[in-house]
Structures are given as C-alpha cells and as structure tokens.
Amino acid sequence: MSTICKNSNTPEIHVILGPTDSGKTTLVRQVVQNGNFNPLFIDLRMSFSILLDGIRGEFQNFFESIFIKPKTKLETVNELNYELLEKISSSLPNLSYWKNHNISPPILVIDEANKLFDFTDLSKEYKTLFKAFLSWLKLIIQNNQFHVVLTSSEPFFLDWMEYSLHTMRLTPHVVGDLSIEEAKQFFVNHKLEDYASLVGTRMSYISKFVQDYRLGIYEDESGFDPKHSMKALVETEDQGFILEDDLMKEIGYKAVRSLVDYRYLYRRSNFGLNSDLTNPPAESKVMLTPMNQLSLNAAKDLLKKNN
C-alpha cells in the first residue's frame, strides 16, 4: 500500500485482498489518511445498488469542500443512471493539478468491491451499468485522474478484475496475519502463552480470544467448537498451507472450488508477503490456508474422534 503514496502521480487500481476480519479496511483508512489524500469511501457490504448514489454523494461533497463546481450538477440519481460517471470524469483534472494547487487529491475506496459481480447474472440494465462502471474505472486511470482502491474478501476477485479490465495498472496487495513470532509475543505480553498455538496469527481473532478469556468464556480447549473443518490442511499444519494445484490433483477442481466458495479454505495468492507461513513457495503458486486456526484445531479433534 505504500506504493500509493510513493507513486501518487501515477494513478492505479489497487486491489486489497485478505480474509474476513484481517484488517483490510482499517489498513486502507490509515494509509490514505497518512498519504495526504481526500478519501471517498463507499461500502458495498449491504448492496451493489447503492454504488451510484454513493459515488454521487462522495464526489459532490468533495467538490464542495474544495470550492470547485462540476461542469454539470451531480443531481440525485436512480440506480441505473450511469451518465453520472461521465459527469464526474469530465469535471476532474489530472493528478498534477492537485499537486500544483496544494490540494489533497481524491482517492476512491470501495469496500467489499466483489459485490460488483453479484449482479452480473441479473437484468440487462444492471449488466450495462456494470460494464459502464468498469469502463469508467479504466478511463479514470488512463486520464491520470485519481487512484482507486478496491477491497475484497473474495479470493477470486483479482482474477475477475484482471479478466474484466485488461489493464496493466491493477496492483494487488495481500493483507496477511501477524508473523508467528509476533502472535506468540502478543500472548506472552498478556500472560497467555499456553494458548498461542490455539488461536493462530490473525489479530482480530487473537484480540477477541484474549477479551473472551478474561470474561471466563474459555475455561479450557474444549470450549472451541467451530463448524468448519479443513481436513486437507491437517497433515500440512507445520507449514500452514497446501498448494492449490496439489489439492486439485487429489480431489479435482470442482471440489476445491466448493471448499473455497463455502469458506472451508481460503485461496491465497502468493505475492511474497507470507511472514505467517513456514517455507512458502518462492514461485507465484496459489496456496490454500485454513480460514483460521480454530477451525484447523476442530478438524484435528474430529479426525481423532472418527479414528
């Protein structure tokens, strides 16, 4: 994410990938606030249908805050009035303008952007809007107008965007967990070192466990009973992952895709940011990891009982 600040004069579409509760949104907010931007946030967690109205509201507030009037008024729009996008792009200068006038440039941040693809199988109107929005993103980047940040907990989102946009300015970032040593040190600091191996390295789970433990929710390990088991990863627990290609050879593509779609496994692209894994592959091979350490522990318990 630091590349957003370093290369602020070259707009890109930054795709922030990571499992649920891995801190993607918090990280993005911190980076854009420290990077001297005017962030425009749109949250698609509830529905894709709020996209255009969210864009209208955020850009209208931005124009008003810097006392610049768009060439045409950004009136309230209905869900399918995609002409709004053209009005915004025609009202914006390129990035060098903001720097020359000492104004923080806009940066569009869309949370859970994978919702963009939820409507691709519906009406022709939504398909038209979807295509228009993707074309607008490409135009914004080609015209050097502003950065775009898309966060997603959907592991296939990057593949979808690369297929849909065909642009070289699509930069992926992976938000991982703490390193193993960092996670252990956190438990040591809270005098709970015996539980470090149970919870894993995701900060949100660690913090919740420490809080719940102090409330007396977990008296011992038997308190863990998550629903999902990840049998394929039990034998590779020490390294923390299994290669997607290897698992496909054993159980087939459809079975692996099903495990990912139903959140039994997390599909993790390899961009070299793997401090929480042991001996990850050097090449850009896709890895499969547990959704969290708790579900892996549950899988081990189930295997023991069934044997």
Q: Quick one: 224 and 269 in the same domain?
A: yes
Model confidence pLDDT, tens digit, residues 209-240:
556 555 554 444 433 333 333 455 665 566 67
d(CA 43, CA 24): 13
The predicted structure's pLDDT at residue 227: 35
d(CA 286, CA 304): 29
- Which residues contact residue 49 at a Cβ distance below 8 angstroms, ignoring those fewer than 6 apart? 79
Least confident of 104-113, 176-185, 218-227: 218-227
d(CA 222, CA 148): 45
Q: Quick one: 100 and 233 in the same domain?
A: no
The predicted structure's pLDDT at residue 229: 35
Q: How does residue 281 score in pLDDT terms, banded at 50, 70 and 90? A: confident
Task: Provide, rounded to the nearest whole percent, the portion of the chain with pLDDT above 90.
Answer: 7
The predicted structure's pLDDT at residue 221: 40
DSSP string, 121-162: TS-HHHHHHHHHHHHHHHHHHHTT--EEEEEES-TTHHHHHH
The predicted structure's pLDDT at residue 107: 93
Mean pLDDT of all residues in 84-108: 87
- Mark residue 88 as left, alpha or beta (left: phi above 0; alpha: psi -120 to 50; beta: remaining): alpha
d(CA 304, CA 296): 13
Q: Quick one: 127 and 203 in the same domain?
A: no
Higher pLDDT, 289 or 274: 289
Q: Quick one: 184 and 151 in the same domain?
A: no
Q: Look up the pTM and report it.
A: 0.61
* 203 in Cβ contact with 177 (< 8 Å): yes
Q: Residue 182 is encoded by which pair of tokens? A: 């960092």
Mean pLDDT of all residues in 81-86: 76
Least confident of 9-13, 75-79, 124-128: 75-79
User: Quick check: helix, strand or coil at residue 303?
Assistant: helix
Q: Quick one: 161 and 216 in the same domain?
A: no
The predicted structure's pLDDT at residue 110: 93
Query: Which range of residues forms the domain containing residue 28?
Result: 2-174
Q: Quick one: 107 and 190 in the same domain?
A: no
Q: Quick one: 153 and 7 in the same domain?
A: yes
Q: How does residue 165 score in pLDDT terms, banded at 50, 70 and 90? A: confident
Mean pLDDT of all residues in 198-206: 53
| Segment of 6-10, 108-112, 151-155, 191-195 carrying the highest mean pLDDT | 108-112
d(CA 59, CA 53): 10
Q: Quick one: 166 and 209 in the same domain?
A: no
Q: What is the CATH number of the domain that holds 121?
A: 3.40.50.300
Q: Quick one: 72 and 120 in the same domain?
A: yes
Neighbouring C-alpha atoms within 13 Å toward the C-beta of 48 = 15
Which of 174, 199, 218 is the last residue before a domain boundary?
174
Q: What are 43's strand-pairing partners?
A: 111
Mean pLDDT of all residues in 95-105: 86
Q: How does residue 72 score in pLDDT terms, banded at 50, 70 and 90? A: very low
Q: Quick one: 34 and 149 in the same domain?
A: yes
Mean model confidence pLDDT for the chain: 72
Q: Quick one: 45 and 162 in the same domain?
A: yes
The total of structural domains in the chain comes to: 2
Q: Quick one: 49 and 81 in the same domain?
A: yes
Mean pLDDT of all residues in 117-142: 77
